[in-house]
Structure 1
Amino acid sequence: MKMQREEKQLDSALEAIIMRVNDLKSAIAAMIFKLENEFETLNWPNFLDNFALISGHLTSLSKILSHDKAPNLKSLTILPLRLSPDKDEELLRLTEGRISTFLHDLVPDYLRTKPEPQAEQKMLQLEAKAANLNYETSHDYNKQVAQYTKVINHVWDIANKTREEWESEAGSRTAQAQTSSASDTHSLVAAVGMGKGLKSDSIQMVQPGVNSVASSMMVGRPGNQQQTPNQSPLVQMGKAPSTIKTNIKAASQIHPYGR
């Protein structure tokens, strides 16, 4: 009777533990899915809600394991009843497709109740190192952490301030009035380079104008049609006729003290 009662308690405890483990597994899978697929829209409150859900499942599992009526699982041993290299559909269903065969090389890993020897040794070394730390060493560590946190916060403030300045400068540049026109620039380039938009009657050539002035000068003075040898063509073409008559005499004729 006692054995039967203990077996019933064990079965009920294992069923409750399996339910809590499945809930915990579902919560962890949902959180991993959100981190991998919804990281762009995931905010901090939703992340804390998922973390609180996982923490609640862990608390429930701890209560079940620490209950007075719960069996002491540490005193129990799991032994494989049958080892076969063939594919087991029932095992595949129970493990949700993770294990298809129960072989000799898989039993030590799946039925292990303690960490691997290397991991256990590393954990013991870390625990011994943490236990041997004195107050001064831990205080120095905390001081270094505080200094690093202060430096990181200072760098963060500088980065935020620089970003705000860049955003304000970019906004002021876009708000300035436009002082140029692309269409006018293209029109000027086309006019200078290809003469586009310029009228032909507004362009005055210099040489034809000079020739016309020179021809009018020659026509207005019929008595002076012959050119003197020392008179340059530029004077003939560019000098306008004068209406003032002058009588230029030699300097020796008008000098009062002539020899």
Structure 2
Amino acid sequence: MQREEKQLEAALDAIIMRVNDLKNSIAAMIFKIEHEYETLNWPTFLDNFALLSGHLTSLSKMLTHDKSPPLRNLTVLPLLLSQERDEELLRLTEQRVPAFAHDVVPDYLRSKPEPEVESKMIQLEHKAASLSFETTQKQMTAYSKVVSHVWEIVSKAREEWESEGSARGGATQTSSVTDTHTLVAAVALGKGLKMMPQGVQPGSQGMMMAPLGRPGSGGPPGQPGPGGPMNPNQQQQQMGPVGKAPSGIKTNIKAATQIHPYAR
């Protein structure tokens, strides 16, 4: 008897530890759902659910182990019922049960489900027993088809996601970092730009400008005629700013040798 009692105490202690682990995991999951619902994602929820499943699996293995005592053959009986506050009971139940009174005994020492739950279970058992074998097979076949269809949809979506991910990872490069740095340096610092040669005006495509004037004269005052000397200021005005890139606008400049409209 002493050996069986020691074995029972050891098994109960191990079961209590497993139950406490399961209870803490459930409390942590409920806390995350209630307080971290804005930042809670699906993988984290699945991890918590897998942790709960692991605790339940280990608890069921412990209960069905060969060395575990048959708890079904044991009965829990109340030794003392009292309406007064019990501090030790309050500590053991984590501040949930202040007194082991007549109103809490049926709930905490119940070995069968509640009457309402038990009646519903009996109705479902009778309904399942009344079905014929053919009806049961048809329902199972229909359920299997639904599950297979859902599995195909999920598998297809997974393959598409994986293919899209691999395509994004192996996409061809459409830009060059070196060319980008070269363009930025040219625009911001003028690096790599060349000055226009003297005697060529930007935008004229290599043609010399000839000022228009009256026939027989050297042009307007302050401007030399064709082939005449030019001062540095006028040359700089025609050349434009030093280091400025040539304009892309095409110009059509007429030569001064054509007939003047006011000539007689």
TM range (shorter): 0.5 to 0.7
Q: Deviations over 1:52-110 (max 9, x none)?
A: 5323311148963389xxxx546xx8345332232x12323454554222234323322
* TM-score in terms of structure 1 length: 0.56
Normalised TM-score (structure 2): 0.55
Could you tell me how far apart the structure 2 residues matched to 1:190 and 1:63 are?
A: 81
Question: Is there any run of 5+ residues in structure 1 with no aligned partner, and where?
Answer: 1-8, 220-233, 241-259
- CA deviations over 1:225-251 (Å, ceiling 9, x no partner): xxxxxxxxx9982339xxxxxxxxxxx
* Kept after mapping to 2: 8 A contact 1:34/1:42: no
Matched with 1:209 is 209
Query: Following the alignment from structure 1 to structure 2, what is the Cα–Cα distance between the partners of residues 34 and 101?
Result: 27
Alignment pair present for 1:83 and 2:82: yes
Label 1:54 to 1:107 Cα distance change in 2 as closer, same or farther (>3 A). Answer: closer
- Deviations 1:142-169, CA, capped at 9 Å, x for gaps: 2022212321221132122212221221
Partners of 1:91 and 1:119 in 2: CA distance: 29
Q: Do the aligned residues in 1 keep the contact of 2:11 with 2:68 (CA within 8 Å)?
A: no
Aligned length in residues: 205
Q: What pairs with 1:142-153 in structure 2 (closer than 5 Å)?
A: 142-153=140-151
CA separation of 1:16/1:115 partners in 2, compared to 1, >3 Å: closer, same or farther?
A: farther
In the TM superposition, 1:69-108 aligns within 5 A as: 73=74, 78-79=77-78, 81-86=80-85, 88-95=86-93, 97-108=95-106
Q: Whose helix proportion is higher, 1 or 2? A: 1
Q: Which of these residues, 30, 52, 58, is aligned with residue 53 of structure 1?
A: 58
Name the CA shift for 1:58/1:164 in 2 (closer, same or farther; >3 Å).
Answer: same
Larger mean CA deviation between 22-31 and 139-148 belongs to 22-31
Do structure 1's residue 22 and structure 2's residue 21 form an aligned pair?
no
Seen in structure 2, the aligned counterparts of structure 1 residues 185 and 40 have a Cα distance that, compared at 3 Å, is farther
Percent sequence identity over aligned pairs: 25
**Per-residue deviation, 1:190:** 5.9
Cα deviations across residues 199-256 of structure 1 (Å, max 9, x unaligned)? 58767267x932189654598xxxxxxxxxxxxxx9982339xxxxxxxxxxxxxxxx
Match of 1:227 in 2: none
Q: Which has the higher contact order (CA 8 A, sep 6+)?
A: 2
**Equivalent in the alignment of 1:157:** 155
Q: Which residue of 2 aligns with 1:120?
A: 118
Q: Which of 169, 172, 183 is the aligned partner of 2:170?
A: 172
For the structure 1 residues 124 and 105, does the alpha-carbon distance in structure 2 shift closer, same or farther, using more than 3 Å as the test?
Answer: same
Larger Rg: 1
CA RMSD of superposed structures (Å): 4.9
**Paired AA for residue 257 in structure 2:** G
Point out where structure 2 has 5 or more consecutive residues left out of the alignment.
30-42, 213-217, 229-252, 260-264
What SS does the corresponding residue of 1:64 show, helix, strand or coil?
A: coil
Instruction: Look up the SS of the partner of 1:210 in the other structure.
Output: coil
